[in-house]
Homo-oligomer: A and B are copies of this chain.
């Protein structure tokens, strides 16, 4: 049993993406629980929200230490703090959004990001008609300023919301300028340099998985 009393990095071997995704979910439920004034929560209750099992919850947490009290459960407050720290949310992250079109604009104004510690520090577009547009306090900037702004503001994360054809060129530019993580919404397979993390959100694929399930009866 580990003794995690001081702020620190967690011992990481290799954590499955599925585990990290569930931790993010648990965090959301814990915040709801905290808002409702509950003091403690058991792995079973947490599991019920997330559609998983209590063993899964305990195993997920066990990779990072030991956060509960036997017989009692977890302190909502402490577990919230622990998961925030595990996920790296104790300090805010700066995000730029490349492409101020329909989806880029929606994301730039999305309060679900800022409320979780992701601050959008810049939105970029190449169309003169879009540059200067106000999005919830942010002003769309010309794409030509990308490099300069990245050097100045040092954002860690870039969200790519340009048409598929333009995506790779822009990823090359932002990673060359120092971006370390990319969230891609364009339906194009992208490559990034070593040391940069890339994730893709593909909404057409989500619909296609639904279509598969509807067609084949079985749960995928």
Contact = CB atoms under 8 A, between A and B. Distances in A.
Q: Which range contains the number of A residues in contact with the other chain?
A: 35 or more
Given A187-B112, A197-B219, A220-B17, A211 B93 contact: yes
Interface stretch (A36-44, A66-74, A166-174, A201-209): A201-209
A12 B217 contact: yes
Interface stretch (A101-109, A126-134, A137-145, A146-154): A101-109
A130 to B, nearest CB: 14
A115 to B, nearest CB: 8
A4 interface: no
Given A28-B187, A208-B116, A213 B181 contact: yes
A65 interface: no
Q: How many chain copies?
A: 2
Interface in A1-40: 9-10, 12, 14-17, 20-21, 23-25, 27-29
A102 B117 CA distance: 21
A87 B109 CA distance: 34
Contact of A24 (B29, B110, B117, B205): B205
Given A156-B214, A181-B213, A197-B214, A118 B207 contact: yes
A183 B207 contact: yes
